[in-house]
Structure 1
């Protein structure tokens, strides 16, 4: 998971711009009456996010005289499409560096995901702080699941920063061809809740299978280069090459699958001694 700077936009402004773009006068009037409620819901969200207990926010199936389906239509048909608001949508979507999904750290952002489901939290449908850039697969993986405890919350790119210490690792499997298994191992000094949240995030978004697939392609890409090094050097020369790659990846993202992969390969005597030749 990659940490993101929080959006600078606020729900009140987003809603007011949406109201100006809506033609249904009755809906416009009902939306205008809930601006303060949506503003308060956003403030509460930020407080709970800072405390890492967003699961405690009560569900709201509609807000004031506006139904949940109407709020969802305002989001889909107005906020995401109107000339007045599409630029806000796009700026939030562009928060990640290189358009990389902050949830999986691998695929390309395709849209915005409601961290707390819009079907369960009407007051937060238009709150930018609840809108996380995500790839389509990560967006679908969580669906409308509602966490019921702190440990059931997946990591939130705006509130959680888990890249201060390594927690993602890999193990080399002596298979034909070589392969890797990825797994989370949070530092012992972390709270039990934060440790479990990393496991929850890893399971929910299927990161083990995703990283194993991409590492398999990477193994194919580096095989020829490692064979050249081995022909003119030693096992330790191969290991040094892998360590250099690990350090480079770590400098970019300590918990990327590339960092975990190259560290594991460098530590594997079997791989360094020729395991990369198996194909």
Structure 2
């Protein structure tokens, strides 16, 4: 049963951070506080070691403090993960949560708690930094042959591709932020 649960996530990716490889099972409700649920399958969530460590025995005191349950709640009904470009040499990406207008205050708070509990801002910023370096050559070539708008169109295409794969991924937020930044599109990727 444990192996089947660990193998459940798509592409073996941790459903809590959306990045690292599943290596363990996390107890959604802390095992030290809910010992009768230690082996109950709906309380076992496949996770990477880092997310499991970040959560530890954290027990929320109210619904507002509770993170997402990746299998029993829909937190991808609208986009809540966004980013901004930090202008510098090299450029960087800063991630944040912005709840959609239709969400309740409780759901918005839970999205923020999840983002903070699993330290997603730093994780995503690190991945985005690598991605910026990976696409720099392509952006330089596009800029040599075209304009700021050609660079923006390339970034918008990447954003849409990422959005269709996973609405609230760091890739979606990154490419959207890059495409919105005139500074970045006008050569901010050169360092």
TM-score, normalization by structure 2 = 0.99
Quick one: distance in 2 between partners of 1:183 and 1:160? 21
Select the residue among 106, 119, 126 that pairs with 1:213: 126
Q: Cα offset for 1:95?
A: 0.9
Matches of residues 137-176 of structure 1 in structure 2 within 5 Å? Answer: 137-176=50-89
Q: How does 1:96-175 map to 2 (within 5 A)?
A: 96-175=9-88
- 2:150 alignment partner, SS class: helix
* Alignment of structure 1 residues 1-279 onto 2, 5 Å: 88-278=1-191
CA distance in 2, matches of 1:162, 1:264: 21
* Alignment-derived partner of residue 12 in structure 1: none
The CA deviation at 1:145 is: 1.3
Which residue does the alignment assign to 1:74? none
User: Per the alignment, in what secondary structure is the counterpart of residue 158 of structure 2?
Assistant: helix
Superposed displacement of residue 146, structure 1: 1.1
Deviation of 1:176 (Å): 1.1
Q: How many residue pairs were aligned?
A: 191
How big is the shift at 1:188? 2.0
Q: Secondary structure at the match of 1:169?
A: strand
Q: What stretches of structure 1 of length at least 5 have no aligned partner?
A: 1-87
Secondary structure in structure 2 of the residue aligned to 1:273: helix
Deviation at 1:184, TM superposition (A): 0.4
Deviation above 6 Å: which 4+ runs of structure 1?
none
Match of 1:67 in 2: none
Instruction: State the shift of 1:168 in Å.
Output: 0.3
What is the distance in 1 between the residues matched to 2:13 and 2:74? 16
CA offset at residue 105 of structure 1? 0.5
Q: Could you list the per-position Cα deviations for residues 174-213 of structure 1 after superposition, in whole angstroms to 9, with x for gaps in the alignment?
A: 1110001000001121111100000000111100010001
Cα-to-partner distance string for 1:112-164 (whole Å, 9 max, x where unaligned): 00011111111100100000000000000011111110101011112211111
TM-score by length of 1: 0.68
Deviates further, 213-222 or 155-164: 155-164
Distance (whole Å) between structure 1 residues aligned to residue 105 and residue 144 of structure 2: 48
Give unpaired runs (5+ residues) of structure 2: none
Q: Distance in 2 between matches of 1:104 and 1:95?
A: 15
